[in-house]
């Protein structure tokens, strides 16, 4: 089924200050979008607005060709924010098993990766038994990326996915993004690092509050 994310005239504010206005986008299956811009220009707010975590002032977000057209768009998204959404006191494997069960949707037929295999993919194979809090910042970020694999969502929203990652792990993130796009997914990433995402559209946030 052709699959398309359409954003029309999206705008959002923080308090009184408008952050962005009239953002229009069309992303087809397999497309990617890199959101760039200086600090404080609203990259994170843009992603949170798409995820339904921040109220939009105007505009619409539509997912055409979704399995259930009446379901809110947010249910088809994976959001990886600044924070990793993992419990320090649970082991890495326990965290991932929880998210894979919690995020699995009724009638899901899309393939998902078992937690152990997802940990192998992000280069944490054999570390599943460690409490999440024992890992280094970069390892924690990689474990958080593994969450994207254990439950299938067609659209990924990644906020600084490579924060705290070394160069080798940045290549791993690029491979993850490429793999998701090859499988017909859409990736929207906000980043400062030069991520190599071939054929990606870019959206440069200029911000209203910060002079360009």
SS3 of the chain: helix, strand, coil, percent, to 5? 30, 25, 45
Please, are residues 142 and 123 in contact by the beta-carbon 8 Å criterion?
yes
Rg (CA), the chain: 17
The count of C-alpha atoms lying within 13 angstroms of the C-alpha of 186, restricted to the half-sphere facing its C-beta, is: 24
Pick from 24, 16, 29: nearest CA to 156? 29
Give the separation between CA 118 and CA 149, rounded to whole angstroms.
6
The correct pick among 3, 20, 46, 99 for binding other proteins (CB under 8 A) is 99
The correct pick among 40, 58, 87, 196 for binding other proteins (CB under 8 A) is 87
Tell whether residue 129 is a contact of other proteins (CB under 8 A).
Answer: no
Pick from 170, 183, 178: nearest CA to 200? 178
Q: Scanning residues 23 to 52, which ones bind other proteins (CB under 8 A)?
A: 48, 51-52
Tell whether residue 138 is a contact of other proteins (CB under 8 A).
Answer: no
Residue 82 or 129: the one with the smaller Cβ distance to other proteins is: 82
Residue 102 or 126: the one with the smaller Cβ distance to other proteins is: 102
Residue 70 or 167: the one with the smaller Cβ distance to other proteins is: 70
Tell whether residue 199 is a contact of other proteins (CB under 8 A).
Answer: no
Tell whether residue 110 is a contact of other proteins (CB under 8 A).
Answer: no
Pick from 74, 55, 52: nearest CA to 12? 55
Tell whether residue 101 is a contact of other proteins (CB under 8 A).
Answer: yes
Beta strand pairing call for 4-14 and 17-28: antiparallel
The correct pick among 18, 21, 29, 53 for binding other proteins (CB under 8 A) is 53
Q: How far is the CB of 116 from other proteins (least distance, A)?
A: 17
Give the residues lining the site for other proteins (CB under 8 A): 48, 51-55, 71, 74-75, 77, 79, 81-90, 94, 97-99, 101-103, 105-106
């Amino acid at each position: 089924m052709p699959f398309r994310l359409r954003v029309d005239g999206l705008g959002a504010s923080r308090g009184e200050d408008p952050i962005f206005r009239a953002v229009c986008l069309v992303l087809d299956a397999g497309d990617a979008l890199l959101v760039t811009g200086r600090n404080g220009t609203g990259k994170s707010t843009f992603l949170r607005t798409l995820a339904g975590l921040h109220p939009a002032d105007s505009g619409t977000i539509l997912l055409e060709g979704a399995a259930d057209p009446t379901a809110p768009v947010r249910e088809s998204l994976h959001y990886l924010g600044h924070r990793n959404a993992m419990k320090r006191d649970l082991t890495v494997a326990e965290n991932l098993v929880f998210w894979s069960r919690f995020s699995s949707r009724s009638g899901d037929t899309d393939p998902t990766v078992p937690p152990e295999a997802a940990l192998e993919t992000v280069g944490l194979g054999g570390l599943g038994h460690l409490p999440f809090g024992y890992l280094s910042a970069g390892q924690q970020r990689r474990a958080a990326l593994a969450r994207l694999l254990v439950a299938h969502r067609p659209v990924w929203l990644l906020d600084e996915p490579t924060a705290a990652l070394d160069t080798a792990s940045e290549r791993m993130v690029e491979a993850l993004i490429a793999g998701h796009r090859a499988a017909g997914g859409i990736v929207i990433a906000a980043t400062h690092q030069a991520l190599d995402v071939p054929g990606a559209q870019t959206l440069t946030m200029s911000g209203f509050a910060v002079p360009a």
